Every structure is written in structure tokens, then in C-alpha cells.
Structure 1
């Protein structure tokens, strides 16, 4: 199914104080995602964000994502500080990415020809960032969009019998580390003891296999409640982890051995919470619904996309040529609950 792009942008007058430099715009797509805020002339974007922080956070909860597009490339650190400032580290995640600065990462280092399915960061963990900040560092010339979808609408669109199964049974995610995706890279340590401590803290079982390979397992909910809006959201990555969706490109990128014949070390898989298998047909239904709700835009250098990680899922389209998107993650979910992460 083709993915909707911005058919056009409609100017709107900003609510609150008059700000002639920054024009609020909204998409014509049915999902109303993201809300676009575009500057037609020079503006101190971080200062503007700081001055309108509460209004913008309300907009984020309403739409799920905000796209800031400025005439001049804004300072990424300053934008994030103005909107949140409470950064967290990417440690123990499933993606392949590199740290490029203090709490700044490449968004993804999967091979460029692969389509990365829409997901919410760390939805397979006991804690996750509430906010994701992306900045376009090198503008792609051929595709390479970051599609997004509203998790509230996805949940509502899932057939009731499937939705109830996921909500009642939960999920168990398994991951293997050891060849392309190593545990040293994912956990940013050379110490097995540190990995074990992190996993114990996060309720993740650890199994060491052979000399230097790792298998983890964790049981998680599939549906969650947003701590601010109180809305129920589809919050799992079954359609990305399930073995039926592990195409050869993703498998090669994440493979744990050159032959990848050891079932214990299969890169990713997901089961019902009790460990029983999920049928591929169910996963196909979910994947199709997620894709049907996806919308996307073409990146411009300097763009900053802010995503509420529970309200909206994100992915990556294939591309060719130069492309670099940077990522910062902020505001621990557990911290919003008053729990020490």
C-alpha cells in the first residue's frame, strides 16, 4: 500500500502570544501527524520553544509528533534542552547505532536498502524514553523518510479478538548478540557483570552461550497507558521481532554468527507471554494495520522531529546516497511514575 506524504500545508495563526516569525502549519493527511511548525524567516528557535514549552507539549500530546523546520539550522542540543533537557542513554537496545556525542546517537545503521518497520523505542523493556528527538544532519536525496504512525489509532484499528489476545497474554521478547550486533556495542561495556546487572535491574534474563555470545529474554505488556493523557496505546514490536517478519536483510544485519544456524542465538523473536508461539497470520494482520496508518515527509537539513514515544511509532524507509539522522532520547517513563530506573 502506498504511504501518504504531505499533500500540502495549511498555515494557521499560532495560539497565544503573537509570533510572526514562526508559522504554525498542519498536514492535510487524515492522521494529522505530525504538527509542523515552520519558520519563514530567521528566528531563535530554541528560545521560541522555551517560551512556548507548555503549549508545545500539549500539542505533542494531541498530535503525537512535532516537526520544527527553520530557515537556519538550529542547534540540536539547545532545542532539546529547551523542550526537555532530561536526557537518557541508549543502552541495551535492539537497534544498531553509534554514539556521536554526549547522549547523541546515529538514528540507525541498518543497511540503506532495508525498510525498518515502525516501532516505539524500548517498548520491549521495563523502561523507555518518553521523548525522541531527531535532527536531519545530512539531507537524503533519495527516499530515507522517517515514517510515523499514531499508536492510539493503531490500537483502535486492531481487530478486537487480536487486541484482546495481546492485552491479556502479553509478550516475551528474545534477542541474540554475538556477531554483527554484539553485546559490547549494545550495552556499551566490555564487562559481563555490568550487562548482568543492567539486565537484572530491568527484569531481563541472561544466558551466556559459548565464549562470547549472549541471549536475553523479557516478558512485557503489549498495550500501555500514557502517563499524561491516560490514553491506551499499542505499545509493542511483535510485528518487527517475529521470526516471520525477519527478512534476509534484517537477519544478516543482526546475525549472531556467520552461518546463523543456532536457534538459541536467532537475532530477534517474540512469543506470547507464556512462551507459546504467535501465528504468522496474526503478525501479518498487525503489520498491515501499522503500515496503513503510516505517514511520512521528506527530510530537509536541520529539521527537528519530536516524537512522543508512546503516542507515535516511527521507522525508516530505504534510501541511497548520503543520509544522516541524529537521535537524542529523553525523559524516562519510570521517572514519570516516581520509580528509580
Structure 2
């Protein structure tokens, strides 16, 4: 019983590559073990694949499934930027923002100097309305961004600044500890600059590139979260409200060029618009599994109604040294 026949793989323009699986009584983990090399090849070649027909009924089973496919342990969600709930086997809930909010396209942990090469998303409960997880090709995004903007971002790099508080995420949640010494040790290890402020507050900043070279294709990839971290991503009213109440220096998160200079908001908006234009959307179905090359494909979330439960696991750590 092989992985694929001509009828198993479905390619439709504007949709993710779909692999239809007929287990024919075979256990899901046995199927994954037998076909893991072909599955990795599919992800490496195509960047993303949506698998239909598997039966994954528990968090523990999902963790074992991803470890089998990715041929390695799953990663802890460290240096957090969004609220999630940790489950069994380093499986996490998808970002727990309000159902009415849109989560913009992003490559996981692209604000950091370390990120997972592989992501696995499992739909345990699709929302009745909305709730899609669009994906977008970050290699194509790089090619579409005007060269003068690319050159500026690549030469100057990006400085991510975070102030931790209840307005966004407290540092105890981001670093998963209340021990300042552990926070400082983590920051030193990851080349994150830090400063303790009055009132037990913490500020961090780090400088990272705007793009990377894809490890397989050798193509440039737009790999950063400037469009997401910048205060303008919150909209004009929220941006002005936060600046007026907190001051620009104390915004929960913001991003500058590596030399500390301001980024033109119109350039960030252009990048957001291009990313939106590249989105590939599909409707989740129960038990759907999506495997992603996180270096190549970004992901986001559409607003939704009703209940929705999407789980995620991350594997294969990669990174570069910050400057």
C-alpha cells in the first residue's frame, strides 16, 4: 500500500496541495511511519500540504504523529509573542486572540533569531463561519516587494523592541518563568538585549535580518515580522491611543530599522497588502492536517464565529546569530 497514486494528490490553482489518504484500516501512526520520507519530500518540494483522511483523536496522538513525520522532537514555544495554551507533548493551541480579530500573515518566530523549520496544524473542530488559516509564499512576497524597499530593509536590518506588561503579555508568560535570573540567562543565550525598568518591568530588543536564504531552494525569503510588530498594524485609532497613554518608548511592541530610525508606515502597509494578495485560503474540515515549511510559507487567521479548535506543533529548530 503506497503513499500516493495519481488520484491521491490534488493540485488546484489558488489552493494548497491536497493529499487524500485512505487508511484502509491501517493505524494513522503506522501510515505516517511508513510514509514519512515521502511526506517530508512533499513539504520540502511544495512548502505546504493539506492532508485529508487521517484520524487523530487526541493531543498525545497528534504529538506522536508530528514527531514521526518530522523525524524529531517537537519544540517548546519559547520567547512567546501571543497567548497560547500548552498541551501534552509540546502541542499548543493556535493563538488565542478574540474570534473577531484577523491575524496577519507571518512566519512563526520570524522576529527571533531562532525559529522552527516545520509546523503542523491539526483541525479538531472547524468553526461554522470563517476561521481559515491562510498561507502565503514568502519567496513570492520577496520578489514582489520593490527592490528599493528590499534593499533598505536588508541593509539596515530590523530592531524589535518589546515592553512587557498586562497591556500585551507579561514577561512571566513570555519567558514561562517568574525568575529574573532565568530570563536574563535566556536573553544572553539568544542574543536578546534586556533592561529592567522601575516597577519590575522588562524591556528587550534585538536586531535581526529582514530576509534569509531558503535552505533548500537557495532563494531569498522575506522573513521578518516588521509589518506585524509595528504599532501601525493595530490601526490608526489604537495606535494613537497606545502612544498617548503609554508613550512611544513604552509601547508593548514596536519595530525600527537596526540603526533605530523609523520605518515608513506606507512601506509596511505595502508589504501587508502584498501578503494579503498572496494568501491561499481553504476551509478547515475535522481531522485535516496541514504541514508547512515555516521558512517558505507564512500563515494567518481569519475571523470566525462559533467554536474553533486548531492545534499546532513545531519542529526542526533553525536560526542565525543576531548582531
TM normalised by structure 2 equals: 0.89
Shift of 1:39: 2.3
2:236 corresponds to 1:278: no
**Residue in 1 that maps onto 2:51:** 68
**Residue in 2 that maps onto 1:39:** 21
**Residues 125-161 of structure 1, C-alpha deviations (whole Å, 9 max, x = no match):** 1111111111112221110111100111111111111
Measured on the aligned residues, the alpha-carbon RMSD in Å equals: 2.5
- Checking the alignment, whether the CA contact within 8 Å between 1:154 and 1:293 is kept in structure 2 is yes
Give, in whole Å, the separation in 1 of the partners of 2:119 and 2:4: 27
CA shift in 2, pair 1:113/1:248, >3 Å: farther
- Checking the alignment, whether the CA contact within 8 Å between 1:23 and 1:39 is kept in structure 2 is no
CA shift in 2, pair 1:98/1:250, >3 Å: farther
Give, in whole Å, the separation in 2 of the partners of 1:227 and 1:199: 26
**Residue in 1 that maps onto 2:8:** 24
Shift of 1:243: 1.6
Shift of 1:328: 1.0
Aligned residues: 314
**Residues 6-53 of structure 1, C-alpha deviations (whole Å, 9 max, x = no match):** xxxxxxxxxxx74579952334224xx532112256443332232222
Give, in whole Å, the separation in 2 of the partners of 1:326 and 1:18: 28
Aligned mate of 2:304, from 311, 319, 322? 319
- Checking the alignment, whether the CA contact within 8 Å between 1:25 and 1:38 is kept in structure 2 is yes
Give, in whole Å, the separation in 1 of the partners of 2:250 and 2:298: 27
What SS is found at the alignment partner of 1:55?
Answer: helix
What SS is found at the alignment partner of 2:130?
Answer: coil
Q: Which has the higher contact order (CA 8 A, sep 6+)?
A: 2
**Residue in 1 that maps onto 2:110:** 123
Where in structure 2 are there 5+ consecutive unaligned residues? none
Shift of 1:230: 2.2
What SS is found at the alignment partner of 2:215?
Answer: coil
Aligned mate of 2:191, from 175, 193, 203? 203
CA shift in 2, pair 1:248/1:141, >3 Å: farther
2:31 corresponds to 1:48: yes
Give, in whole Å, the separation in 2 of the partners of 1:316 and 1:178: 24
Give, in whole Å, the separation in 1 of the partners of 2:34 and 2:56: 19
Give, in whole Å, the separation in 2 of the partners of 1:250 and 1:23: 49
What SS is found at the alignment partner of 2:8?
Answer: strand
TM normalised by structure 1 equals: 0.85
- Checking the alignment, whether the CA contact within 8 Å between 2:132 and 2:301 is kept in structure 1 is yes
